[in-house]
Structure 1
Amino acid sequence: MDWYQTLFELIDMRSFSNLWFWIVLAVVWSTTSHYGIGVPFDMVLRAKRHGGQTETDLEDLVRINTNRIMFIANMSGLWIAGFACFFLTILGLLGFVYGNEFAQSLILLGFPLSIVGLLSISTARLIQQEDARGEHLRKRLMRHRLYTQIIGMVSIFVTALWGMYQNLNVGPFGG
């Protein structure tokens, strides 16, 4: 028995039975829901409680991030969308047509994140069009966070169901 076989028996390299995949999934969705359009949610809460300079800081950070998001979307949005669709299609085919578990895990992580990306562009566009400030801006950011959390909960639920199905279907030793 060589050391490759020993290593792969010791550390399960399949995605859905690997603890690291679930840790990454939790960290990704926690971070994504905390940083809506690049603005930390604690900053939104602090601006709501204290107002004044913290409100101005929030508005400045939102203005900087929305300008950046809209610049990227306007200049190279079609290219990014094309490449994203290409890679998601490749992952979907590899994962669900050819049965590659790693590709399945990446599509179950990447597809919902692409929806959050589109939501971020939509929110940034609305903030710019409305010239949102103060309470209206905070409500818009809270709504964005709520939608992101809903997408994350559905994503984690579907991923957990698919992962349990894969683990029960394949078995503990990949047979």
Structure 2
Amino acid sequence: MRYPQGGGLTAERRVFREDIRMQAAELFALGHDNAAVARQLRVSVRSVQRWHQAWEHGGTSALESKGPASRPKLSETLFAVLEQEPAKGPVAHGRPDQTWTLARIRTLIGRRFHKSMTLSAIAQMLHRHGFSHQVPARRATERDEEAVTGWVKETWPQVETPWRRSGPGSASKTKPASR
């Protein structure tokens, strides 16, 4: 199961589990014991024991969902600001070339928002917002399709190394000459 915000449950799954806890609260109110509630709802007895204890101390409201386990590092408004920065280009941010890497985005987030994120968290955040790696936003206007096709057909086969050696080989994993 893939989780949003890098951990926890999806919103639908949280609602599903909260519904089960609310059904358990109704059964507690009717006087059912923990084992019967666990059997009926097809959950573990230990979970029902925790729910029952919370229900006794705080009522039905104690069984309500508390929301996602973790909050995203960048709010939607901060991400909207971050989204505008790469459009300016890496050169505008002091980089010598026109490529964005996760490390450069991490540096940008640190400088702009004073937040620290891991590279994997940045990759997950970008993926959640529809960004993908190695996909240019547009093709170069100078691109010559005929020249590219000609290069692939004529030059590339000469550059590509053959799969087999020209001389005799050996089935041994060690080099015969090294003995």
TM-score normalised according to structure 2 size = 0.22
- Higher relative contact order at CA 8 Å, sep ≥6: structure 1 or structure 2? 1
Which structure shows the bigger proportion of residues in helix conformation? 1
Structure number with greater Rg is 2
